[in-house]
Amino acid sequence: MYNAFFGFTRSPFNMSPDPAFLFRSEQHEEALANLIYGVQSRKGFIVLSGEVGTGKTTMLECLRDFLNAQQIAFASLFNSRLTVEQFFEMVSYDLDLQCNRLSKTEVLLALNSMLLERANAGRTTVLIVDEAHNLEWDVLEEIRLLGNLENRKGKLLQIVLAGQQELDGKLEAPEFRQLKQRIALRCVLRAFRPQETQAYVNSRMTRAGLGNQTALSPELIDEIHLRSQGIPRLINAICDNLLLTAFAMETRTATLEMLDEVSADMRLDYPRPRQSRERTCSDQTPAPLDAPSQAD
Ligand X SMILES: Nc1ncnc2c1ncn2[C@@H]1O[C@H](COP(=O)(O)OP(=O)(O)OP(=O)(O)O)[C@@H](O)[C@H]1O
Per CB under 6 A, residues contacting ligand X are 15-18, 21-23, 25, 28, 50, 52-58, 164, 232-233, 236
Binding flag, residue 57, Mg ion (CB under 5 A): yes
Find the angle CA(228)-CA(233)-CA(234) to the nearest 5 degrees: 25
The CA dihedral of 102, 104, 109, 110, to the nearest 10 degrees, is 30
Q: How far is the CB of 99 from ligand X (least distance, A)?
A: 32
Find the angle CA(235)-CA(238)-CA(244) to the nearest 5 degrees: 135
> Would you say how long the chain is, in residues?
296
Q: Which is nearer to ligand X, 28 or 155 (CB)?
A: 28
Considering CB distances under 5 to 8 angstroms, the limit depending on partner class, which of Mg ion, ligand X, none binds residue 43? Answer: none
Question: For Mg ion, how many residues bind (rule: CB under 5 A)?
Answer: 2
The CA dihedral of 178, 159, 232, 171, to the nearest 10 degrees, is -10
Residues between 155 and 174 that touch Mg ion (CB under 5 A):
none
Q: Which is nearer to ligand X, 57 or 229 (CB)?
A: 57
Closest to 183 in 3D by CA, of 153, 150, 158 = 158
Considering CB distances under 5 to 8 angstroms, the limit depending on partner class, which of ligand X, Mg ion, none binds residue 164? Answer: ligand X
Cβ-closest residue to Mg ion? 57
Q: How far is the CB of 80 from ligand X (least distance, A)?
A: 11
CB of 72 within 8 A of CB of 39? Answer: yes
Q: How far is the CB of 231 from Mg ion (least distance, A)?
A: 12
What residue ranges bind Mg ion (CB under 5 A)? 56-57
